[in-house]
Structures are given as structure tokens and as C-alpha cells.
Amino acid sequence: MTGFLDLYSEKDTFLHRLDPRVKLLAVALISVLAFILAELLYLVVLLCFILLLLVLARSSYGKAFFALKFVIRFMILITLLWPLFDRSGTPILFSIGPLDITEPAVWRGATSAVRVGCFATVWYILMFTTSQRDLVRALVKLGLRFDYGLALAISFRFIPTFGLTIESIKDAQRARALELDRGSILRRSRNYVSILVPTIVYALRTADTLALTLQSRAYGAFSNRTYLREIRMRASDYVALTVVVLILLLPAMAKYICGVRI
């Protein structure tokens, strides 16, 4: 259960080795690109490129399937629902009662779906290939305050712990004949209180110890804190960075400077 909360799996691929800052930037730029591109064809090309990256990331089938299942469902939903709300343009393909389904709306639906697919998949690739700690390091390196980085890292770290604790609390209450999903609404909300209160108590106790621990480990002692692991850009990172910037810049220039419809 907790396995899927951390999507990262340790592998030795080009994408894994890439500096996390470059990866963050790449993901941001590709997301921007997905919004710049307006033509379905080019978006499909972009999606294919992203799927190629997914293959190159050698993610475990279980995790990739878990992620893609979510993305594909979302894409289908958008494709189906879009024409119901967007009824502009002609020709009308067919009508369901008062609803006119138009051809441009269907295309726009598909375009949006692919766009969202690009956007979501690329973030998943980031999570697949970058450990949470590298992500936090990259954010701190890019200027996030260390305290916030630490807070983020602590939340990542405690997600599985909390998951297990909540499971245990549920079991403990079920052993007292609690049935979470039975009874009236009032009864059900009271049922959830029996999970919520012990969870909050646990969180507060953990936070107390955590506060004492941080102080005992000299947290905030000096402003010029050092770091055991520094992330350093290598030649290959600069190459990747250049490629990524070009991938965004070329289509953007084509569209906004040369006026090409893409």
C-alpha cells in the first residue's frame, strides 16, 4: 500500500542520473510547451516523445501501470465530456436530445485530453526517476528556504509512517466492532471521529518529539549551514539542459515569432 506513495524506484538510467534541477526545469518547460501547442498532431508528437522518455526511465511495470491507468482514465473522461459543454462550431455531428455534438468540439476535447496526458505523464516521469530527497535538495538549491525544504522532506518521510499508523488505528477500532461504512450519516461521522482523534493525538506526540530532536541536533545553530551532499552539474547535465531549452524555444519561436500554426 505504502509502496505507491513513493513512486521512485532506484535504477541506473540517463534520466535517473540527470541533475534533479535540470529535471525540474525540463518538466516545467515541457508543461509550458504542452500549453503552447494548439494542434492535436503536434501534441500527439509531444506525447509520443514523453512516452519514449517513460520507456527510457525503465519504471517498474506496476508503478507505470498504476500511473498510466490514472492518466488514461482522465484523458478518456475529458474527451467524452468536453463536447457536452463546448457546443460551438459546425458541422453538428449528431444530437442527443437538446445536445448538439459538433466536430470542432470533439477535436478540442481530444486536444485537451492529450495536453493533460502530456502534462501528467511528464510529472510522473519526474517522480519515477527522482528520489524525494533529491527533489527537496534541488528545490533548496534553486532557492527554497532550508526550513521549508526540511518541512517538505519531513512530510515525505512521515507519509508511510502515518499510513501504517492509520491502518493500525482502524484495525484497533474494528476490533471494537466499529463498522466504518454502516449506519446513519450521524453515526458514520462519529465513526470517523474514532479514527481521527487517535490520528491527531499521534501526530501531536510525534511533532513534540520531533521538535525536541531537531533542537538537540543543533538545528538552526549557524546560518552558514554546510551540506554533506552537493548536487553539481556535469557536462551531460548541461547538454540535457540545452536540449530541453531548445525543445521549448524552437516551437515557441515558430509560433510567436514566425507565426506558424502549431
> Letter for the amino acid at 62?
G
Question: Cα–Cα distance between 124 and 30 in angstroms, integer?
Answer: 13
- Decide whether 15 or 169 has the Cβ nearer to other proteins: 169
- Decide whether 53 or 67 has the Cβ nearer to other proteins: 67
Going along 16-138, which residue ranges are E strands?
Answer: 92-96, 99-102
**Closest Cα partner for 198 from 161, 237, 240, 170?**
170
Could you say which DSSP state residue 7 is in?
A: -
| Binding mask of the shown chain, residues 194 to 223, with x at each position contacting other proteins by CB under 8 A | x-xxx--xx--xx--xxxxxxxxxxxxxx-
Say if CB 90 and CB 103 are below 8 A apart: yes
Question: Cα–Cα distance between 168 and 170 in angstroms, integer?
Answer: 5
| Binding mask of the shown chain, residues 118 to 157, with x at each position contacting other proteins by CB under 8 A | -------------xxx--x----------------xx-xx
Q: Of 12-20, 77-85, 108-116, 191-199, which part binds other proteins (CB under 8 A)?
A: 191-199
Most distant CA atoms of the chain, gap in Å = 71
Instruction: Verify binding: residue 9, other proteins, rule CB under 8 A.
Output: no
Element spanning 76, H or E: helix 61-85
Instruction: Verify binding: residue 171, other proteins, rule CB under 8 A.
Output: yes
Which of 89, 104, 160, 251 is in the footprint of other proteins by CB under 8 A?
Answer: 160
CB of 17 to other proteins, least distance (A): 15
CB atoms within 10 A of CB 251: 17
Which of 104, 144, 173, 254 is in the footprint of other proteins by CB under 8 A?
Answer: 173
Which of 230, 232, 257, 261 is in the footprint of other proteins by CB under 8 A?
Answer: 230
Which of 96, 186, 228, 258 is in the footprint of other proteins by CB under 8 A?
Answer: 228
> Letter for the amino acid at 9?
S
Q: Which three cell numbers stand for residue 124?
A: 510522473
CB of 230 to other proteins, least distance (A): 7
- Decide whether 204 or 257 has the Cβ nearer to other proteins: 204
- Decide whether 214 or 243 has the Cβ nearer to other proteins: 214
- Decide whether 107 or 158 has the Cβ nearer to other proteins: 158
Residue 61, classed as helix, strand or coil, is helix
Under 8 Å CB-to-CB from 141, ≥6 apart: which residues?
21, 231
CB of 118 to other proteins, least distance (A): 29
Place of cell 462550431: 89
Say if CB 32 and CB 104 are below 8 A apart: no
Interacting residues with other proteins (CB under 8 A): 1, 3, 131-133, 136, 153-154, 156-158, 160-161, 165, 168-169, 171-179, 193-194, 196-198, 201-202, 205-206, 209-222, 224-230
